[in-house]
């Protein structure tokens, strides 16, 4: 099982969009049962009396516009509620991905550092540096979609080309023939059959 946690300030826009984009990617590959994907907040702004806010309506609309959270591809969007990141999350996840530099500072504080090198910035997987556009301030959900989509696609490709994870996924696929270095092999997975941001 490959475990991924996406994190932003409130867990109602960016990290939830990333969570469901990633779930959609692996679902389209027929690999959803081999991944555990969640998202969480670094602050309690969207958690009231222990109950988290649902996905922010414009973020949910952007997901629906791209075929996620629809009746035939719900993926849990309607049940999602914001939750706070806990220190215990560090041991539970393989990848913990912050949306911006403030999230990364908060995560290092929550976890007391990053001894196992599990913390990543989202846009590192998109091949560029910087923060994911925050639609809470900009109102630009298109930019956030692009950033999250590019980051999630890059993360998925990195997982596919990592020898350890590739081996796990090839076992999941049964007769997939991976070579020792995960080089030019036919993984049997459909890498590019999903829309990009």
Query: Which residues are annotated as catalytic?
Result: 8, 14, 134
Q: Whole-angstrom Cα distance, residue 125 to residue 49?
A: 35
Segment 154-160 long-range contacts (CB within 8 Å, at least 24 positions apart): 154/124, 154/125, 154/126, 154/127, 155/4, 155/22, 155/95, 155/97, 155/125, 156/22, 156/25, 156/26, 156/29, 157/191, 158/125, 159/2, 160/187, 160/189, 160/191
């Amino acid at each position: 099982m490959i475990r991924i946690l996406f994190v932003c300030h409130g867990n109602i826009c960016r990290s939830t969009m990333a969570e469901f984009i990633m779930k959609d990617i692996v679902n389209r590959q027929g690999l959803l049962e081999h991944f555990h994907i969640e998202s969480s907040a670094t602050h309690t702004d969207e958690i009231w009396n222990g109950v988290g806010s649902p996905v922010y309506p414009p973020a949910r609309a952007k997901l629906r516009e791209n075929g996620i959270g629809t009746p035939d591809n719900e993926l849990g969007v309607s049940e999602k509620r914001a939750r706070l990141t806990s220190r215990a999350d560090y041991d539970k996840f393989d990848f913990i991905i912050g949306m911006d530099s403030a999230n990364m500072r908060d995560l290092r504080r929550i976890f007391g550092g990053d001894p196992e090198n599990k913390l990543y910035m989202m846009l590192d997987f998109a091949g560029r540096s910087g923060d994911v556009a925050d639609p809470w301030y900009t109102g630009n959900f298109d930019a956030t979609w692009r950033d999250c989509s590019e980051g999630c696609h890059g993360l998925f490709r990195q997982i596919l080309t990592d020898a350890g994870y590739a081996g796990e996924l090839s076992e999941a696929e049964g007769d997939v023939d991976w070579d020792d270095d995960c080089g030019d092999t036919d993984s049997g997975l459909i890498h590019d059959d999903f829309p990009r941001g």
